[in-house]
Amino acid sequence: MVEDKTAHLQSEVNRIAALLNARPIQAGVVLKDDDRNVYIDDDGRYHYDYWERGRQRVDHVGDIDEALYWFACDIAFDIGGSYAARHRPRDQDPRILMWAKQYEVLNRVNPDWAARCVRETAELLRRWGKHDDVALLPNIPGRDG
């Protein structure tokens, strides 16, 4: 049963990676050296985690949609960061272009995920006391709380 779910998870990871023109990660394998992982635990919960220097830094747990969302959101963030580094005007905060590109590419995969990512990033910025930075995010309904 877990093998079937892992195969389905891998298929979805591959599909999303192809949509984002990114390299897929291997489902069901946990790597611990600056790696992202997506897997199903013994209780049937889906995980998307990130390891840095041998330590788990992030562990998102939920259903398959949640795991795929976090995978897609991270890949879109990387794409946005790379794009902003190459194309931003010198007089502009690079995060404007980075978050806009992240939203654009994530929107191609799943528009609900793109909006959710903006809302969650806005919430993080507010939690960190960076209220003015919320205005740098794409202007979507719900961004401003």
Residue 33 half-sphere exposure, CB side, CA atoms within 13 Å?
0
Signed CA dihedral, 32, 36, 38, 40: sign only: positive
Query: What's the predicted TM-score (pTM) here?
Result: 0.91
- CA distances from residue 103 to 54, 89, 138 in whole angstroms, order as listed: 30, 19, 7
The torsion angles phi and psi of 22, rounded to 5 degrees, stand at: -125, 165
At 33, which amino acid appears? D
**Domain boundaries of the chain, sorted by first residue:** 2-136
Q: Among 78, 41, 80, which residue's Cα sits nearest to residue 60?
A: 41
Per-residue pLDDT of the chain (145 residues; tens, 9 = 90+): 668 999 999 999 999 999 999 999 999 988 888 889 999 999 999 999 999 988 999 999 999 999 999 999 999 999 999 999 999 888 999 999 999 999 999 999 999 999 999 999 999 999 999 999 999 999 998 888 7
